[in-house]
Chain A
């Protein structure tokens, strides 16, 4: 079964750092477009970042310069390095995938993990 499992969330002080991981099963991270989406408590979904199979990356303005998306092909994992964390970064972070295929250019998120919770508070 295709599966994504996030880890690495937790409580961190403002200004601190965390690295989130997303492990893939029955699925090759490097062959697909991988996205991080977050959801603040009681709020809607917010698109954070994407890593294309070719290596290009894009970020939302709210995290640009602070977050870095990357992958480790040997471990088949996606990462989100989060620096200079602020209270408004508090959210559940989901990794999600656009599978390679005939309609990939719609950038739909067909596979999702269960999420990992990040709390930024002193």
Chain B
């Protein structure tokens, strides 16, 4: 099975900052990498698919990059509503595993 490791596990930032979250796969997965945002008590929300394609309706401050084993999610100019937990997920092979999550805190 493919393991996804996210770092950091938690991150403190301020409104207006730019932050980057990294997701590393245990084997090469091309660009089969998706990113989600989850707020407490809510279902996850798709942000990025295919490593870099922004889902319709997602604010322009979110971007993704990477290929192979190393991927990043960048949030530029943090807004108050961006403080949440972020997960990566691979769609390269079943089980379509998730990373352990990165909690972005104010």
Contacts and interface: CB of A to CB of B under 8 A. Distances in A.
B89 A109 contact: yes
B98 A44 contact: yes
Contacts of B94: 50, 58
A19 interface: no
Nearest to A107: B91
Given A103-B50, A108-B49, A46 B98 contact: yes
A55 B65 CA distance: 33
A60 B95 contact: yes
Nearest to B53: A103
Contacts of A94: 43-44
Contact of B34 (A46, A61, A106): A106
Interface of A: 35, 37, 44-47, 50, 58-61, 94, 96, 103, 105-110, 112-115
Given A47-B98, A114-B43, 20 more contacts: A35-B96, A37-B98, A44-B100, A44-B101, A47-B89, A58-B94, A61-B1, A94-B43, A103-B49, A106-B32, A107-B91, A107-B96, A108-B46, A108-B49, A108-B55, A109-B36, A110-B49, A112-B44, A113-B43, A115-B43
Given A44-B98, A44-B101, A45-B101, A106 B91 contact: yes
Nearest to A45: B98
Contacts, number: 70
A90 to B, nearest CB: 17
Nearest first, the 9 closest Cβ-Cβ pairs linking A and B are A107-B91, A108-B49, A112-B43, A58-B94, A108-B34, A44-B101, A45-B98, A60-B95, A106-B50
B77 to A, nearest CB: 25
13 contacts: A44-B98, A45-B36, A45-B44, A45-B87, A45-B89, A46-B98, A50-B96, A96-B43, A103-B50, A107-B32, A108-B89, A109-B46, A115-B43
B97 interface: yes
A113 B45 CA distance: 10
